[in-house]
Amino acid sequence: MNKNTVLAWATFIMIVMGVLLICMGAFKYDEVAGYGFGAVGIGFLAIAWVFNALKGRV
């Protein structure tokens, strides 16, 4: 596995985890904890976006 493949897998895993966290915050927790899960999920998606932007440049 080269560097681009590792970044692609990391991006995929981060997207899946971000979507899962956002869904947990939206559907499972009705209180303030839901906002925290949603915020962390958005952070995961932002990091995945950065990983995707780094592919081919590292």
Return the structure tokens found at 49.
Answer: 């976006």
Given the structure tokens 């927790």, which residue do they identify? 29
Which of 49, 48, 56 lies closest to 10, judged by CA?
48
For 14, the 3-state DSSP assignment is helix
The confidence score (pLDDT) of residue 4 equals 87
The pTM of this model reads 0.84
The confidence score (pLDDT) of residue 47 equals 94
- pLDDT per residue, tens digit, the chain (58 aa), is 888 899 899 999 999 999 999 999 999 988 888 999 999 999 999 999 998 888 877 7
Per domain, the residue ranges of the chain are 3-54
The confidence score (pLDDT) of residue 16 equals 97
- φ/ψ bin of 31: left (φ > 0), alpha (ψ from -120 to 50), beta (otherwise): beta
Return the structure tokens found at 46.
Answer: 């932002």
